[in-house]
Structure formats: C-alpha cells, structure tokens
A and B are shown apart, each in its own frame.
Chain A
Amino acid sequence: MARRRLLALGGGLALTGALAACSSPLASGLTGSQPNTADVIFWNLFTGGDGANMVLMEDRFRKTHPGTSVEATVLAWGNPYYTKLALATASGTPPDVGIVHLSRLPLLAASELLDPIEKAGLGELGITEDKFTPAAWRKATVDGTVYAVPLDTHPFVLYYNIDLARRAGLLNTAGDGLTPLKGKEDFLAAVKAMKTAGGAQYGAVMSVIADPSTAWRYFSMIYSGLAGPVVTDSGTRIALDTEAVQETVAFMQSLTADGLMPGELNGSGANALFSTGKAGFLFDGEWQIPTYRQVKGLRFDVVPFPALLGPKPVAYADSHALVLPRNGSRSGTRTRDAAQFIKSLLDNSAVWAEGGHIPAWLPTQRSKAFLDQSPQRNYVQAAFDARYDPEAWYTGAGSDFQSVVGGTIIEAIAGRLSPKAAVAGLRSDLKRFTTARPPVTMK
C-alpha cells in the first residue's frame, strides 16, 4: 500500500513537472520552433571576468528597458559555441542576438546564417559606420554587406614592468610611458636593456608551450608588418611570403637566443615570471590585464607593439561582435527588441572595457568613462592598426587552423625549426586547409 502511494505521488509529481515544462521549451522542442522564453534571447561565450562584465551590461539594459526581458545563455567557448550557434540557426531555432568573433564571420556570413544588420533597423538607432573603429567595421563587412556590430577590438599587446623599465632607462622623460621604439634594433635593444640594466631574469616572456593561439598571434603580428595574409582567394590559395617568414622567424629566434627570452615556457610560467618582476616585457593579449591587476606590488603598463620588421606598427587583433542569427520567422517586435539590446550593449561598453577590450563604438571610446581607464586608454591605437586572421572558411578564434599553424610556430620559437624549415612546415600546414573543399562558396 505504502509503495503504491509512493508511486502515485511520484507519478503525480512527474506529471506536473512535465506539464509545467510543456508551456515553453518542451513544446517548442517538439514543434521545432524558436523557444519563446524571453523577449531577447542572447547567446554568448563569456565566463570569468568578461562573463561578469557582460552580466552587468545585461542588467543595465534590464534597468533601462523594464518592459523587455533578456535571457542570456553562456556556452562553452570556441568550437562548441560556434557549432551550436550554426546548428541552432540552420535548424530554425536561433537566439535573437549572438556574440561572434569577427575572425569567424566570413564562414557564418557565407553560410547565410546571419541577417544583415541593416535589416534589423540598427541604422535608425544611430548604429552607423562612422561611429565605429574603421578596421573593425571593415572586418564586419563581408562582400559589401555588414553582418555584425563590432563591440570591441582585442589586440595582442606589449606589457611592461614599470619599475624595471625605469631602471633600464626605457621610460620617457615624463615618466608616464615607454620611450618611442621603432624597428627591430630598437626593440631588441629594449629587451636587452630590461635584462642587463633593469636586472630582470628575462628581458621578455610569453606563453609558448601548448599555446598555439598565442604563438600564432605573435607570428601573425610580426609577419603582417612585411607581407599580406598567408592565404588568399577565400583561403584556397597559399600566399606565404618565403622571405617574410624567414625574416620573422629569424627575428623571433634572435629574441630567444642568449637567454633574453625563454623559448620554452608555458602560460603559468610566463604569468609567474611577469607577476614577480622577473621579466621586463610580456607579450600577450590585453584580456590578461584583469589577471595582472590582482597581483600585489606589480606595477605594469600596456602599450601597442611598435613597428618591428615593417615600416608601420601592426596589431594582431580580433573583435567580439553582435550578430542577429538568421530567422525568417522572427517578429518585428522581437527584431526591434534585439536592436535595442545591441544599442544598449554598445552604450555600456565602457563596462566591457574593464576587461581590457577597446570599445569599437566611438562614442564610448571617446567618453570619459573609458578614457579614465588605464592602461586601457594607452593602446587604443592598436584597434586602428588591427590585422585580423586571413579571410577563409577555416580561420578564426579557437579554430583548428590556429592550433595547427601555431603548433609549427611553437617549434620555431623554441628553436627546433630553422627559418627555412619553418617555411616548409607552414606551407604543409596551410596546404592541408587550402586543398580541403570549402563547405560553402565563399566570395
């Protein structure tokens, strides 16, 4: 008897649970329609500090738009996120707004997974080309159509320890910045000075071991000073400049020779050395700033990399951007809500800049709220000198391309590949991608 009652109770509970679930996700799952649990459904891939900042920005939107509900879903960064975004969109159940890296945009746009932003009426809200960092806006444009609203630019930058730099005589006369460096001799001399005059264990450090993305960013930045993208024609042709590669690798190896910079160091090693004042420079993305801010007693600043091999400074960068995944049945109201949400994120992107990212929205980039942030304001120029991943269906943040090509660069930095061998290695890496058949026709 007791058992029967228990079973009845359990069954009842399960039934009410099922019925409650029925109202939304279950029903929409069975009918294959877009879940309708909030006015704006927003997907992103931010955890940690960036995730917290994004939640703050969402909350600001909720406060200023009390009638509009927002549901934000955080998915695992990288390939898992992009796979889910693409499949959800292809199967007709996309979110209203999604975050993408602009380096990933070409394939998403060519696969017709995104609505052009013009269609969402963002222009009427004042979201127009003239209010964005030009490099980011250009990258958001595919074949003449704008598919994304850039939120930020996040470049690969040069960190330096202020105290070591002062001892090394690398600070400018005002003492508030690095002396201007130009060209590889200047740069090499500065790294040497950090070690000899500054008394650091290493002139510079960066994460190399098992970190192909960082290696690729570093290589790409130096190489781009000399030559164009490594692949062209939407990624079907190798355009590797042999001499530029050799020069780049030779330069990287000149830094690791003589113990100026460790050629084999992992991420936590680089972190430990820079945090404890044993390294003068750190090569990394600006998104590490929040990490180093927490280090007690470390005084550091961040600047764009100077021109190294070419005549002009180049910043390897990527951008987070907001997109509207294609949905033929999205109502006008939902689209308007989505546009309002995007506008609100842009207006609040000074919060986003706390994570180190340079707002792409010029009204914020020029606002006091952003210009009060240091060191963020010191490397804004990098956003204008940004060089993104080459346009292809396989490139972009977290892609196989970055890990394969970066793997070869790691070997070169560690000195296991001569400049000449690096060319051959990169060529065979690239061939693997250029000969694979693109899943969609790219323009």
Chain B
Amino acid sequence: MTTVVPTRPAPTAPAAAPPADRPSRSERRAGALLTAPFLVIYLLFLIGPLLVGVVLSFFNTTTVKSGLGDWVGLSNYTEVVTDPQFWDAMWHSVLFTLLTTPPLVVLALAGAILASRVRRGRVLYRLAFFAPYVVPSSVVALIFLWMYTPQIGLLPKIFDAVGLPVPDFIGSTAGGWTAVTLMTLWWTFGFNFVLYTAAIQDVPPDVYEAAAIDGAGPWQQIRHITVPLLGRTTSLVLILQILASLKVFDQIYLLLSGGPDQSTRPVIEYIYDTGFTAYRGGYGAAATMVYFVVIVAISAAWYGLRRRRASSTAA
C-alpha cells in the first residue's frame, strides 16, 4: 500500500512580528489611554508602596505610630543580613519552592495531557482540576487542618486503619512540610493545569494526524510532539511557579503558624513577625528589600537564560 505523505511545513515558532510601521498618532493615543487605568493602579499600589518601603528601611519606623522615626542608615540591613533567623526563614521559603515546584509542573503537565485526551466529559475534568484553585487559602487551610488533626483527622485515621505509623502532620517539622506540600499541591495545581490546557489546544491537530500516519503511538506523540511543543509554556509555568512558591505565606501561617518552633517559618512570615507583631516597620521593610533583591535576581537570571537559549536556537 502506498501512502502519500503530504508535505506540510514543519511547525515553526510563531513568526517574527511584521516590520514595525510606526503606529499612527491616534492609535498611540488610544494605546496610552487604554493602559492608563493599569498604569495609575500600578504606580499607586505597587511602585508607590515599594518606594515608601525603600525609605522606611533606612529609619527605625514603628508600625503603630505615625511618622518615620529616627534615621538609622544601613543598620537595619546589617541586622537583617546577620540575623540567622532571617536566613533560616529564607531557606524555608527556598525549601518550600524545591518541594512544590517540580510536582506542580510535572503533575499539571500530566494532568493537562490526560484531560485533553479523554473523549467524554472533558469539561468536567478541566473544571474538577481547576476548582480547588478558586477556594480561598483560609478555607483550604481549615479543611486540611481537620484532615491532619491527630487522633480525629481523616489522614491519621487512614494511616492508623492500614497499620502504618501515623505521622505527626502538625507537630513535627517533617510532618509539617509534608502537610503543607500536599495541601499546596491540591490547592494550586489547577493554575498550571489551565496554562498547559490552553497551550495544548494551540498545538495544531494536523501535527498529530501526520504523526499518526507515520505510525507514532500515543506515547510517542506525547513524548515527541506534545511535550516539546509545550516548551515555551513549561518555561513560563516554571518561572511563575518558582515566584509563587517563594512568596509562600498563607498556607504555612494558617496551617502551622511557622512552627513547630519556627522550623517552617517562611521569609514572608519573618517579615510579618518583625514588621507587624514586633512593630518594627523599618526593620521589616529592610528584610523585605533583601528578599525583593533575591527575587529580582532569580527572575533576571531566568530571563537571561531564556534569552540566551532563544538566541542560540534561532542561530
């Protein structure tokens, strides 16, 4: 049997933007007007507070009184960077990122591929995977706290019923990390899932058709078509996930209050504890700046890496 293989252009990365004619004046004005609401809010609620934070970090500002307090120069910064508890907290945020990022990316990809391949009830699967993401963190934390509670919780009971040693989900450090990782997986998995689902829908069906004609099985299609074509999405999901995980606060605060003995306290909670609970607004601002610099450095490194990779593949 002779098979005519239709020649198709290989899927390419989106074509480069058409040569940029300068947009007309009215178009530029429309652009400025349309972005204005965003810019105003951005300046007012992001850049503004950031600048206030920079100023505060040089003063001994008290959270509970108006006024800046005394000028203390860089001493807030020296105290932050020499405080072992700050670095412990930084490490906890990084550890949380290491624990949650790989499963959240891999499982979301797997989930999205599987959901795209079911024939019936696709909408139901997509909804079911995404639904937890819209539940507020306090609600999720309360529900999981019940499930983790020793003696009466669902999980300890299951462990007990099958005869496994019951881990101390709330009272021990290892148990605490397990508890918070599982909860985060269930809760935020949906976001990456949606990004992947959208990207999968963008893969042209004729590529699969061609592969099928060439005799590629489903697994080969996934490995050689879906996953490589999702490369750009993966790098986006990865950076979004790393940044989101480094920002962790609510799950750990609500579930474990950073305990036991501050052994799971993330850096945002350190900032909260010093800046609000101990009223040391200026010091908290300095800790925030150090953390901010670290985040910016990670994002910049990632961006640089991607650009280098992009230019090397283009060459």
Contacts and interface: CB of A to CB of B under 8 A. Distances in A.
A114 to B, nearest CB: 11
Contact of B64 (A79, A87, A407, A437): A87
B278 A437 contact: no
A439 B277 contact: no
A90 interface: yes
B280 to A, nearest CB: 5
Interface residues of A, number: 22
B63 interface: yes
B62 A440 contact: yes
B172 to A, nearest CB: 10
A210 B72 CA distance: 37
A402 interface: no
B233 interface: no
Nearest to B276: A83
Interface string B245-282: 00000000000000011100000000001001111110
A394 interface: yes
A437 B277 contact: no
Given A87-B64, A89-B64, A210-B261, A440 B72 contact: no
A188 B79 CA distance: 45
Contacts of B260: 210
A6 to B, nearest CB: 19
B276 A111 contact: no
Interface in B23-80: 60, 62-65, 72, 75-76, 79
B9 to A, nearest CB: 44
A83 B277 contact: yes
Interface in A94-121: 107, 111-113
A79 B261 contact: no
A86 interface: yes
A82 interface: yes
Among B62, B79, B278, residue most surrounded by chain A Cβ atoms (within 10 Å):
B278
The list of the 8 closest CB pairs from A to B, nearest first, reads A90-B64, A439-B279, A439-B62, A83-B277, A439-B280, A111-B64, A79-B277, A86-B64
Interface of A: 79, 82-83, 86-87, 89-90, 107, 111-113, 210, 212, 393-394, 400, 403, 407, 436-437, 439-440
13 contacts: A79-B273, A82-B277, A90-B65, A107-B279, A111-B64, A393-B278, A394-B278, A400-B278, A403-B262, A436-B280, A437-B72, A439-B63, A440-B65
